Amino acid sequence: MKWVWRAIASTALALGAIGVVLPGLPTTPFLLLAAWAGARGWPEMEQRLLRHPKYGPMIVDWRQRRAVPRRAKWLASALMTSSILMIWLLPAPMWTRWFLTLFLPCVALWLWTRPDS
């Protein structure tokens, strides 16, 4: 089972690293997932993430208070809004358009109810 957790942690960390340079791919959720999976099967990786000067405090804030940085909230909200606009401008199934139009504002509302870190 340890290898499953390590595979999840490695994949999430890789996606988080890609998200640093690729706009639209969120880094934070993948790093949170990597730390979570690392705690179950790769404690050394979890500790390395927690000690990271930029991302470590964010992971600790999430674990302790479920807090999200205000800048991340604004960025996520802007990306969700642009996703809704783009889905209506580009060819897409109608159910997808309506689903995202209803779902993403709910995600944004949930996100803004989290404490600021």
**What CA–CA distance (Å, rounded) separates 27 from 6?**
18
Please check whether residues 16 and 45 belong to one and the same domain. yes
* Helix-then-strand count for the chain, H and E: 6, 0
Q: Give tens-digit pLDDT for 41-83.
A: 999 999 999 999 999 999 999 999 999 999 989 988 998 999 9
Domain end residue (candidates: 65, 81, 97): 65
- Asked, for residue 42, whether it belongs to a domain, the answer is yes
Mean pLDDT of the 34-45 span: 96
* Domain extent at residue 58: 2-65
Q: Could you tell me if 6 and 48 lie in one domain?
A: yes
Does 38 reside within a domain?
yes
The number of domains in the chain is: 2
Mark whether 86 and 47 lie in a shared domain. no
Asked if 88 and 61 sit in the same domain, the reply is: no
pTM of the entire predicted model? 0.80
According to the 3-state scheme, what is the secondary structure of 66-106?
CCECHHHHHHHHHHHHHHHHHHHHCCCCHHHHHHHHHHHHH
Q: What angle do the packed helices 43-51 and 28-41 form, to 10 degrees?
A: 140
**Of 46, 65, 84, which marks where a domain is finished?**
65
Percentage of the chain modeled with pLDDT above 70: 100
Q: What are phi and psi of 103, to 5 degrees?
A: -75, -45
Q: Which two tokens stand for residue 53?
A: 């000067």
For residues 4 and 100, what is the distance between their CA atoms, to the nearest angstrom?
Answer: 31
The answer to whether position 117 is within a domain reads no
Which two three-digit tokens encode residue 48?
A: 């390395």
The verdict on residue 29 lying in a domain is yes
Give the amino acid at 62. Answer: W
